[in-house]
Amino acid sequence: MSLEDSYDPKQFPPFAVTVDLVILTIRQARLCALMVRRTAPPFRDCLAFPGGFVAQGEGLEAAARGKLATKTGVSTAAIHLEQLQTYGAPDRDPRMRVVSVAYLALAADLPEPTVEGDSFRAQWCPVDELLESELAFDHKTILRDGVSRARGKLEYTTLATCFCPAEFTLAQLRDVYETVWGCLLDAPNFRRKVLAADGFVVPTARSAAPDKGRPAQLYRPGEASALQPPFKRPPS
Amino acid sequence: MSLEDSYDPKQFPPFAVTVDLVILTIRQARLCALMVRRTAPPFRDCLAFPGGFVAQGEGLEAAARGKLATKTGVSTAAIHLEQLQTYGAPDRDPRMRVVSVAYLALAADLPEPTVEGDSFRAQWCPVDELLESELAFDHKTILRDGVSRARGKLEYTTLATCFCPAEFTLAQLRDVYETVWGCLLDAPNFRRKVLAADGFVVPTARSAAPDKGRPAQLYRPGEASALQPPFKRPPS
DNA sequence: TGAATAGTGTCTCTCAGACACTATTAG
DNA sequence: CTAATAGTGTCTGAGAGACACTATTCA
């Protein structure tokens, strides 16, 4: 913030500031987001992202991380969290002026969310279904932005491993790309690209025990965060 | 924003919301940002980005566009404006809790900013010098993020033309890339890539009248906004 | 004419995609 | 053995970079 000389810190229009969380995961080969169903107007019975007010002395990311831990009931250390965008149209909440800072979280498949104080339910919903249905506030726009960001980030970062368990096969990693991008990738070429990307994955001592077929090498995430060169997403 | 059932719209911690503008342009082959010098504490005499409070009924982008028009004194239609990030650390302003939504603007070389009501001065400053000096609040972080965003966007969008006048030569466009990326590009290869990118630039009927050397074809921006395939930034 | 800048041709290297092929498991 | 999945080899075409070359202007 930078201010004219006439600035008076006592006279400012008060806003409510909230965080909204777009928490993405992959369940049964579908990209899903964690949603809560609203039980009060406005948008009663609509699905909405978890979120809430930012407290007076609380940082934005700290607020997001707090909500994340509450809703998922999981240690948030392993979950990637980044700021997405800020949404502040004057009429986005009919009750009052609210500016919402949206965060994007990428997580491995998590247990079904626990009922927190029994006051609301959270559930995983496939994003393609969410984009067809009505969501509260401007949350459909936020969801589109979040999915788009996630798709893009898979191209030039190693964040795909966030959707995987601690150890994973290359087939699992490929499934992440295929699910998020909605396309099919050539397994041999994918394998080469991943292994050629320095620090993307590192092999472990173990192999996966499959139902059938040859067991696959298990890997864990490497140190690298950027992919150079980036992965190319096929046009679709 | 999504809220628990116990939500009460009357009880929320009030925040001030501001917009900050990172306005980038190229002057004399240097990437520059428009800055104002603070005349009151805190950070008195430090440089800061133009910005100010968002009014109660005003959208965030509308607020940013308003400030942009005021500070540059130029029709903002031709200036690219996009949301950058939101900065809301509890202690970022010592006076009060402020959440600032930063916007990034890319503009062609503009006239020296006019003095607006004589209450403050705006000036263009080379970003490399700004990054060496002390800036107000967390504005150095914001500047780094803005420059980084601009660099990245030149790779996969046609936004480089925003730094050019209405008609420009390919050499001017190449200068934009070289200045923003801080590298040298091979002129023949650059030319081929730009012309191969469908809708990046379209030739006009005119040629530039150079001081010396062969006149160059003039182009204007095309319809495309994305570059497929992206331009590759040399490692540096 | 020569200096300067615009623009073309062409070679090479790297990488992405296609796809045939081999390897290792379960039954 | 077959089915199924993991993993390798190899060809081809597109694009990036290097750089020699031609074209058009001014003085």
Q: Does the pLDDT value for residue B5 go beyond 80?
A: no
Nearest-neighbour CA in chain A from B95: distance (Å): 7
A125 contacts in chain B (CB < 8 Å): none
Higher pLDDT pick, B191 / B119: B191
Which residues have a Cβ under 8 Å from the Cβ of B84 and sit 6 or more positions away?
Answer: B22, B102, B103, B104, B142, B145, B146, B149
Task: Give pLDDT, residue B37.
Answer: 93
Output the pLDDT for position A116.
Answer: 54
Determine the residue of chain B that is closest to A44 in CA distance.
B5
Query: A153 Cβ partners below 8 Å, 6+ apart?
Result: A159
> Which pTM was predicted?
0.93
Percentage of chain B exceeding pLDDT 70: 92
Task: Tell me what pLDDT residue B6 has.
Answer: 43
Q: Which nucleotide is nearest to B218 (CA to C1')?
A: C6
Q: Any chain B CB within 8 A of the CB of A131?
A: no
pLDDT tens column, B24-61: 999 999 999 999 999 888 999 999 999 999 999 999 99
DSSP per residue, B170-233 = HHHHHHHHHHHHTS---HHHHHHHHHHSTTSEEEEEEE---SSS---EEEEE-S--B-SSPPPP
- Which bases of chain D are contacted by protein, using any atom under 7 A from a CB? 3-10, 15-20, 23-27
Collapsed DSSP state (helix, strand, coil) of residue B98: strand
Size of interface A-B (CB pairs under 8 A): 156
Pick from A123-132, B9-18, B110-119: least confident: B110-119
Task: State yes or no: pLDDT of B2 exceeds 50.
Answer: no
pLDDT in tens, B158-172: 999 999 999 999 999
Model confidence at B76: pLDDT above 80: no
- Digit-coded pLDDT (tens) for B202-211: 999 988 888 8
Residue B120 pLDDT more than 90?
A: no
Give the Cβ contact number of residue B214 at 10 Å: 7
Going from the first residue of chain A to its last (236 residues), give the mean pLDDT of each consecutive group of 10, the final group possibly shorter. Answer: 48 90 95 94 94 95 94 80 98 94 93 56 93 97 98 96 96 97 96 95 90 93 92 85
User: pLDDT value at position A109?
Assistant: 81
Residues in chain B closer than 8 A to A20 (CB atoms) = 1-2
Three-state DSSP at B83 gives: strand
- Which residues, 6 or more positions from A123, have their beta carbon under 8 angstroms from its beta carbon? A34, A35, A36, A37, A112, A113
Q: What does the pLDDT read at residue B112?
A: 67
List CB contacts (< 8 A) between B90 and chain A: 56-59
- Stronger pLDDT, B185 or A74, i.e. the higher one: B185
d(CA A35, CA A38): 9
Distance CA B2, CA A120 (A): 11
